Structure 1
Amino acid sequence: MAKLNLMAAALLIAAAPLVASCAPAGSSEPGAAALTPKQAERLDKQLAGKVPGEPVRCLPNYRSNDTIRVSDNILLYRSGGNLVYRNDLKSSCPGLARDSDIMVVRQFGSSTCEGDFFYLVDRSSGIRGPTCVFGEFVPYRKPAGDKG
């Protein structure tokens, strides 16, 4: 019995860093990780002068070609100069912000939708990385009449 308790304690100690690494660092809301200054600057630059609209569940393929990886939690899809869709992933996608891995989207139909999966593949080794899940797509548009 003492041997079993010792093994259980050893497993708990070994697993603690893994469990802790799943918790978001510096988050102000559940599931959201704090952005680095560079990431915040990139996000601000892409959304500057635009106002958020009603979230949409799916994004047609023709609107999802220009992807900007802001952080491990946020993707932007630019659709022309006046429209950007922001996607806050369902949870963190470790390595997404590096922007060096290939994103492979598991798609069923002609749109990418909230709840669809994608995974990362290391460009040099071909090793598959984490599986990630899209959140809803929030359109950011320049207000009508704004030429800037």
Structure 2
Amino acid sequence: MKAIGVAALITLASPLIASCAPSGTAAPGAAALTPKQAERLDRQLAGKTPGEPVRCLPNYRTSETIRVSDTILLYRAGGNLVYRNDLKSACPGLARDSDIMVVEQFGSSTCSGDFFHLVDRSSGIRGPTCVFGDFVPYRKPAGDGG
């Protein structure tokens, strides 16, 4: 009789457990991505393979910051190289891409553990303080012209 109760509980809980499954890409940090965010991340990293994470990213290396979600930033360093940063925790409002990112930087590099905050573009009100994670380089393999 006890086994029947456990089986019934598992059957009832299965839809709840399945609803917790990540959406979008299976990449790390992608659990909360919307389909549009997952498509954007996949498009930016298509054909590139991840390398060893680096702690700091010199500012001269990047030409564009791409906000994928409240937890993922991409830094473009040319057509063949993109750095992915999975923040230490979610940064509410980052994905909206309407607030200004103000990086609190000491030196010429942005590093894991450095802070930034968001500022509302119209009111100037300071939003959440957020923390960078490691920077993972994604490169196109050598000889891949596409």
The TM-score bracket by the shorter chain reads 0.7 to 0.9
Q: CA deviation at 1:33?
A: 4.3
Q: CA deviation at 1:122?
A: 0.1
Aligned-pair RMSD on alpha carbons? 2.0
Q: Write the distance in 2 (CA, Å) between the matches of 1:43 and 1:107.
A: 26
Aligned residues: 124
- The aligned counterpart of 2:11 is none
- The aligned counterpart of 1:21 is none
Q: 1:146 to 1:63 in 2, by over 3 A?
A: same
Deviations 1:34-66 (A, max 9, x none): 100000000000000000000000000112341
- The aligned counterpart of 1:17 is none
Q: Contact conserved, 1:26 with 1:34, CA < 8 A, in 2?
A: no
The answer to whether structure 1 residue 44 and structure 2 residue 47 are counterparts is no
Answer with 55-64 or 41-50: which moved more.
55-64
Match of 2:73, SS state, is strand
Q: Contact conserved, 1:54 with 1:139, CA < 8 A, in 2?
A: yes
Q: Contact conserved, 1:27 with 1:34, CA < 8 A, in 2?
A: no
Q: 1:26 to 1:58 in 2, by over 3 A?
A: farther
Deviations 1:81-114 (A, max 9, x none): 0000000000000000000000000001000000
Gaps of 5+ in 1: 1-24
Q: Write the distance in 2 (CA, Å) between the matches of 1:141 and 1:121.
A: 32
Residue among 132, 137, 140 paired with 1:139: 137
**Which amino acid counterpart does residue 71 of structure 2 have in structure 1?**
N
Q: Percent identity?
A: 86
Q: Contact conserved, 2:83 with 2:138, CA < 8 A, in 1?
A: yes
Q: Write the distance in 2 (CA, Å) between the matches of 1:26 and 1:68.
A: 27
- The aligned counterpart of 1:125 is 123
- The aligned counterpart of 2:62 is 64
Q: Contact conserved, 1:31 with 1:91, CA < 8 A, in 2?
A: no
Deviations 1:112-132 (A, max 9, x none): 000000000000000000000
Q: Write the distance in 1 (CA, Å) between the matches of 2:127 and 2:62.
A: 22
| TM-score, normalised with respect to structure 2 | 0.80
Gaps of 5+ in 2: 1-18, 23-27
| TM-score, normalised with respect to structure 1 | 0.79
